[in-house]
Chains A and B, each alone.
Chain A
Amino acid sequence: AQTVTQSQPEMSVQEAETVTLSCTYDTSESDYYLFWYKQPPSRQMILVIRQEAYKQQNATENRFSVNFQKAAKSFSLKISDSQLGDAAMYFCAYRKGTYKYIFGTGTRLKVLA
């Protein structure tokens, strides 16, 4: 069965600095999708970034980028120039094809002014 592991329950970063959130997953599949979702106190789950496993190039969305290491089954999220609004729970998620998402347990990110 597929699993997603986020080993950092909580992280802190100084405003304007860079932080990396870790995620590892376990699967025997070769074609799948990986996502990072952000959940602020409002509870809304917001997509931050997605990565297709068949793509070697790491996805980037403005200040957010990933380091996708397929062989190591690692999918970390880097947030550059951290802002107060980045404070939230971050969930890593795996999806095989068109089927269900499997989420990690989340990392709470605190941004210090």
Chain B
Amino acid sequence: DARVTQTPRHKVTEMGQEVTMRCQPILGHNTVFWYRQTMMQGLELLAYFRNRAPLDDSGMPKDRFSAEMPDATLATLKIQPSEPRDSAVYFCASGLISLNTEAFFGQGTRLTVV
């Protein structure tokens, strides 16, 4: 049963600390998205990769956030330094968008910055 795997599921950290969230997309998928979900803003796109190359990261605060795909099986989202306003659920999704299919979401990482 192919699925997008995100780690960790939950993370509590102190303000100022570095946070790294990881995502393993479904094997063979060529597109990876990072979304952030908050009560106030809903689901916001942070970054979007196609064939490991970043296509759009305009939704991501550049001064503290960074997203990478070191290889086809791993996508990372880092926050350094973290702030309380970064508390949210972060979702990774992958898809084979060239076939115009839907994106499949991971279960998300719930981040709490205290």
Contact = CB atoms under 8 A, between A and B. Distances in A.
Contacts, number: 42
A45 B45 contact: no
Nearest to B56: A100
Given A100-B56, A103-B42, A35 B102 contact: yes
B42 A98 contact: no
Interface string A85-97: 0000001000001
Interface residues of A, number: 22
Given A42-B107, A45-B93, A105 B33 contact: no
A110 interface: no
A105 B31 CA distance: 24
A28 B98 CA distance: 22
Q: How large is the interface on B (under 10, 10 to 19, 20 to 34, 35 or more residues)?
A: 20 to 34
A91 B102 CA distance: 14
A98 B56 contact: no
B107 A44 contact: yes
Contacts of A35: 102
Interface in B68-114: 89, 91, 93, 97-98, 100, 102-105, 107-108, 110
A45 B4 CA distance: 11
A38 to B, nearest CB: 11
Interface in A64-106: 91, 97-106
27 contacts: A33-B100, A35-B102, A42-B107, A44-B105, A44-B108, A45-B93, A46-B105, A47-B102, A47-B104, A50-B102, A52-B100, A91-B43, A98-B50, A98-B97, A98-B98, A98-B100, A99-B48, A99-B56, A100-B33, A100-B45, A100-B48, A100-B56, A101-B43, A102-B45, A103-B42, A104-B42, A106-B42
